[in-house]
A and B are shown apart, each in its own frame.
Chain A
């Protein structure tokens, strides 16, 4: 059989890019950006100001987007792996953030819920918080991998009970950390005008990139997600790989717990990270990843997360009525998710091919 000659260099690169699933979140960002350029250019203005402590801070709507979208982007990383390997989603991440946040505050406050100073170094509290979150992840992962529960069913347990557990960790009191150092992680480090959550997110992206490059987790998660039986026959242990994915999501949850509690210095068990699991799943879907598992693109999910935040900030800036915000968000999200569904993309590329084939130019078939 004869093969068509490959298009050279840049042409091939862009053709490949266009077919890649990352096009959907990129296109969404482009559309939102064009919208702002037309309606309200000031959305993109960034200014360097000083906050009440005299530290330099960058401020502007775009800064708000990358700042507030950090937790979602970090969660999207873990959720992508979990989706890929187990073909399902973890809906307990919000409760997990409540637990890890509660643990962090417990370690910092000790038995007095409103101490003058922190009772332990922040790094220790953070590590213990991550441990707690990883334990939740392991719990979920074990149910899915060893007891073969459906992911959404398995994670329903922590979704229901998690926030109560978080409250119990602090004996149902509301701890408050007054130390200014703690607020650096959710705010700004003196001297660095870039919001710290974004810096933390960047660190997470780098760690993730390294993980995907220097280990086989990407290949294994995809293999297990696509065909578990075959993966086993090639020497993989699907249960361990699924468990690993959930624990990694747990670590992401731990990091988010730190950021969220650090933003306000306290916690409210029912309200913290409310409904964030839906947004995280949405980010994965927006990135064009199949929610039934298998191949994935991590960068597309992360971009998807920022698209969601971009949309939210846009709606706030337009001062849309609160009832209407949900409606607008829903419409945009439905459109985006439909466009990024693998079936729709296939149909679209078939149509494109037909259109190209219909053109008289080009070599004979």
Chain B
């Protein structure tokens, strides 16, 4: 009996030592990061975003990263609590909904976990997070609407296909159009929510075609819905694209969408930059070194692509997906 106990004690301590040496790595420790994102299957944008983060936060690059996905705030908050308990160094968050995060952020602060937001802003006091790398959806909308204004059409009859109502992307992109349309007296022929679905967009546009109301612009708040809209146009043999009857606008800059732009079938695509990892890593490095950040909120530069001026490099460089 005694022999056994001594033996197991020795074995345990040997194991323990090897564990500790294994964990530590050769030179320095890995930075522990907890990353909470939205559903990666939600859109091409999100898939690219997720891939980008996974590619950046690897062990080789010096990070011990865990990924969690939640469709709602509640789900995400659960993961957040878990990461805080796991004592991560950094918590990276793309929130599902903008409100209600104060409690969790304060817990993180107390535990000494540094929070960095990405992709979207949330309604919380700035002191509760270190930095944020976001897309300004409003700006995306404004860029698009500016471009539309610059087309100098004699009249504007717009089919406005909105995203899932209440989402940050929809609010931003719709807001810009609504504002300018009312200012300049543009005619919104139809304003319906396609809920990000190509099929719904197709039905919406088909309904307008069937009602024989004239239109010359389709403002679709993401590429999938623009695709659906185009299917309806093709069915009725309504020409669209550069120099044609109907202007087609989309968002997200999927590679296949930019191809459509290059081929002149669509007119405009607004970028929603999913590649935030480089900004995030930059911030983390700075914080590790103890430097102060120049800006708390980094708004990513996002362009709008015009079919008339887009190049193959643009497609290769900025197109999301494959």
Contacts and interface: CB of A to CB of B under 8 A. Distances in A.
B235 A263 contact: no
A163 B206 CA distance: 28
B224 A268 contact: yes
Contacts, number: 109
A114 interface: yes
Contacts of B162: 322
Interface of A is mostly: mixed
A237 interface: no
Interface in A35-61: 42-43, 49-53, 57, 59-61
B236 interface: yes
A328 to B, nearest CB: 13
Given A164-B41, A167-B41, A322-B193, A174 B207 contact: no
B198 interface: yes
B235 A271 contact: no
Given A271-B197, A274-B195, A57 B43 contact: no
A349 interface: no
A317 interface: yes
Given A64-B206, A176-B256, A313-B207, A114 B322 contact: yes
Interface in A154-185: 163-164, 167, 172-174, 176
B198 A316 contact: no
A49 B165 CA distance: 34
A363 interface: no
Interface in A290-349: 312-313, 316-317, 319, 321-323, 325
B181 interface: no
B158 to A, nearest CB: 13
Contact of A270 (B39, B190, B209): B39
Interface stretch (B94-102, B105-113, B226-234): B226-234
Contacts of B47: 172-174
Contacts of A271: 42, 195-198, 224
Given A167-B41, A271-B224, A317 B235 contact: no
A264 interface: yes
Contact of A316 (B40, B204, B227): B204
Interface in A9-55: 42-43, 49-53
Contacts of B236: 49, 51, 57, 59
A173 B50 CA distance: 11
Contacts of B190: 319
B51 to A, nearest CB: 8
B41 A172 contact: yes
A279 B183 CA distance: 40
A176 B254 CA distance: 12
Given A173-B322, A322-B192, A269 B41 contact: yes
Contact of B210 (A61, A68, A266, A325): A61
Given A49-B237, A57-B235, A316-B192, A42 B212 contact: yes
A354 B211 CA distance: 47
B191 interface: yes
Contact of B227 (A260, A264, A321): A264
Question: Number of contact residues on B: which range applies?
Answer: 35 or more
A51 B207 contact: no
B228 A64 contact: no
B73 interface: no
B302 interface: no
B44 interface: yes
A322 B210 contact: no
A38 B162 CA distance: 30
A176 B39 CA distance: 20
A113 interface: yes
Given A64-B203, A64-B210, A274-B197, A323 B322 contact: no
B206 A51 contact: no
Contacts of B42: 270-271
A57 B231 CA distance: 13
A269 B39 CA distance: 10
Given A263-B199, A316-B207, A270 B192 contact: no
A188 B228 CA distance: 15
A113 to B, nearest CB: 5
Nearest to A317: B207
Contacts of A316: 192, 203-204, 207
Given A61-B207, A68-B199, A268-B198, 19 more contacts: A42-B211, A49-B236, A52-B234, A52-B235, A57-B236, A59-B235, A61-B210, A64-B210, A114-B322, A164-B41, A174-B44, A187-B231, A187-B235, A263-B199, A263-B231, A266-B198, A268-B224, A270-B43, A321-B191
Interface of B: 39-44, 47, 162, 165, 190-193, 195-199, 202-204, 206-207, 209-212, 224, 227-228, 231, 233-237, 256, 321-322
20 contacts: A51-B236, A52-B234, A57-B235, A57-B236, A59-B206, A59-B236, A113-B322, A114-B322, A163-B41, A167-B40, A173-B47, A174-B321, A188-B235, A263-B198, A268-B196, A317-B210, A317-B211, A319-B191, A323-B165, A325-B192
The 4 closest A-B pairs by CB, nearest first: A322-B193, A269-B41, A316-B207, A52-B234
